[in-house]
Amino acid sequence: MSQITDQTARRRTFAIISHPDAGKTTLTEKLLLYGGAIQLAGSVKARRNQRKATSDWMELEKERGISVTSTVLQFEYKDHVLNLLDTPGHNDFSADTYRTLTAADSAVMLIDNAKGVETQTKKLFAVCRDRGIPIFTFVNKMDHPGRGPLALLTEVEEVLGIASVPVNWPIGQGSDFKGVYDRETKKVHLYSRTAHGATKAELEVLNLDDPRITDVIGADLYQTLLDDIDLLDIAGEGLELEKVARGELTPVFFGSALTNFGVELFLSRFMDIAPAPTVRVADKGPVPAEGPFSGFVFKIQANMDPNHRDRIAFLRVVSGRFEKDMEAAHTRTGKKLRLSRPQRLFAQDRETVEEAYPGDIVGLTNPGAFQLGDTLSSGEIIRFDEVPSFAPEVFSFIRNDDVGRLKHFEKGIQQLCEEGLVDLFWDRRSARREPILGAVGKLQFEVVQHRLRSEYGVESGLEPLGFEVIRWVEGDPVELRSVYWGSNARLVEDDFGNAVVLIMSAWNLQYLEDQNPKLQFFKSRNEL
């Protein structure tokens, strides 16, 4: 087997999707604990708190209790290399989340035993389903009283519309949670609690007919377990891996991240079933992992670390071997770029990457060279079209309130726009020089203001505009200029010089379309 094929087969690149508070941070820590990346789970959190204290713009995260940024963690488990993409949970960041999920090959859907399928779970699930990636379910907090496994599985099937197959089955729940039964090996995993789950759980694995089981779980729970197993074997669906691969069937695991119950069992099975990086389709056809280097930029972030005031473009390697200082063609500009100082980011720490393989995420620091969605390749020039752009739904003028810092204001706005946090529009027909920001949710405007203040030292003011609908327009330039847009619409330019109309409502749009049959209206820039 070639080195690239071998390395690709070892990789699992995935994201955890969940509603806030379901236990994503906790599960991440435990995966790292079992993955051997750190000795004591909890250091991620400690690191995170430390980072929050030192980095100003993380304050917003803390205030709002949301995760604004995503990081990538890489760790090893047995023979595998795992790349865990962290997705922000908050609603207003769905565009960022969507982009991050384009880099994942599978998703782990985390559900709180007591709360079941929550709103944010539904939205993120829809994104994964849209992309057709395999979805694994981990029902967390089994040590907490909840609805019970059967009710939860029914909810997953009914609310999300995906069939489910339990890979393991919980024995009791709440204070009676004793462990899980592994359906494949037909063994019972009994757990003992460790202090705050800081070290790996001690585990006893017994055959189902081992008499010691009843000593630990009691005759009643044992009988319930036997009945449940019968029911699952008779009524349940089998674990058809092809259906899992197509995202039609979700394997379900039960456990408790806090106390480490079921985490390792999950991890080891996940390694077996989850897909390794595979072919992605570019404009010239499928790109298999084996071949020249290629990849795409799915995320850009400025000032991740106050000590390194640079912009990082996160590249997902699709094929070939990435090497430090290699040259690659940049499809959008046609230029050759030297990829120097590639980084791997572990929470806030960085280390230089010497090489990377399909599925890996590399942080590139070339100043200003990259836009979201850009493709790089060292072979034939190709273009991946993996990263969608989203039409903004809220709009606002943003004003620089400090005349002496105009340059900083402009730089800040431009960089935050590059990240895809907001889109920029310019009203060339008015005397106003300020940009109009467009975003999918209002919270993004707050983030922009907050980051302008803390990262660029600029105070700004917002003047919200009442538009709700956006259309890119194409047509004869003379005709375009002569249109009377009225007070319910405004003709502006996007940052690339395209004509765009901001419109009050869908009704107004309909009117404009009827009045101007020669113009073409597009929902997004991609459609131009």
Please answer whether residues 179 and 260 qualify as being in contact, where contact means their C-beta atoms are separated by less than 8 angstroms: no
DSSP codes of every residue in 182-198:
ETTTTEEEEEE--GGG-
Nearer to ligand GDP, 21 or 204 (CB): 21
Q: Is residue 41 part of an annotated ligand binding site?
A: no
With CB under 6 A as the contact rule, the residue among 140, 294, 303, 508 that binds ligand GDP is: 140
Site string for ligand GDP, 390-429 (x = CB under 6 A): ----------------------------------------
- Cα separations (Å) of 5 from 104, 311, 320, 353, 388? 18, 31, 9, 19, 29
Q: Please tell me whether residue 18 binds ligand GDP under the rule CB under 6 A.
A: yes
Minimum CB distance to ligand GDP, residue 67 (Å): 8
The yes or no reply on residue 26 touching ligand GDP (CB under 6 A) is: yes
Q: How far apart are CA 128 and CA 135, in angstroms?
A: 7
Between 86 and 455, whose beta carbon lies closer to ligand GDP? 86
Could you list the beta-strand ranges (E) of 280-342: 280-282, 285-287, 294-302, 311-319, 322-323, 327-330, 335-338
Residue of the chain from 61, 86, 92, 143 that contacts ligand GDP (CB under 6 A): 143
Smaller CB distance to ligand GDP: residue 141 or 178? 141
Number of C-beta neighbours around residue 324 at 10 A: 15
Phi, psi dihedral angles at 197 (to 5 degrees) = 60, 30
Q: Is 48 in the site for ligand GDP (CB under 6 A)?
A: no
Applying CB under 6 A, the span of 47-55, 124-132, 235-243, 256-264 interacting with ligand GDP comes to 256-264
Give 25 or 343: the residue with its C-beta nearer to ligand GDP.
Answer: 25
Please report whether residue 141 would count as binding ligand GDP according to CB under 6 A: yes
The answer to whether 13 and 85 have CB atoms below 8 angstroms apart is yes
How many residues in total does the chain contain? 528
Q: How far apart are CA 255 and CA 118, in angstroms?
A: 18
Q: Where are the alpha helices (DSSP H) in 77-208?
A: 94-102, 119-131, 149-155
Minimum CB distance to ligand GDP, residue 195 (Å): 14
Site for ligand GDP in 159-178 (CB under 6 A): none
Q: Which is nearer to ligand GDP, 179 or 438 (CB)?
A: 179
Q: Are the C-beta atoms of 277 and 83 separated by less than 8 Å?
A: no
Binding string, residues 329-348; x marks residues near ligand GDP by CB under 6 A: --------------------
Indicate which single residue of 108, 135, 258, 452 sits in contact with ligand GDP (rule: CB under 6 A): 258
- Three-state DSSP class for residue 291: coil
- Where along the sequence are the contacts to ligand GDP (CB under 6 A)? 18, 20-26, 140-141, 143-144, 256-258
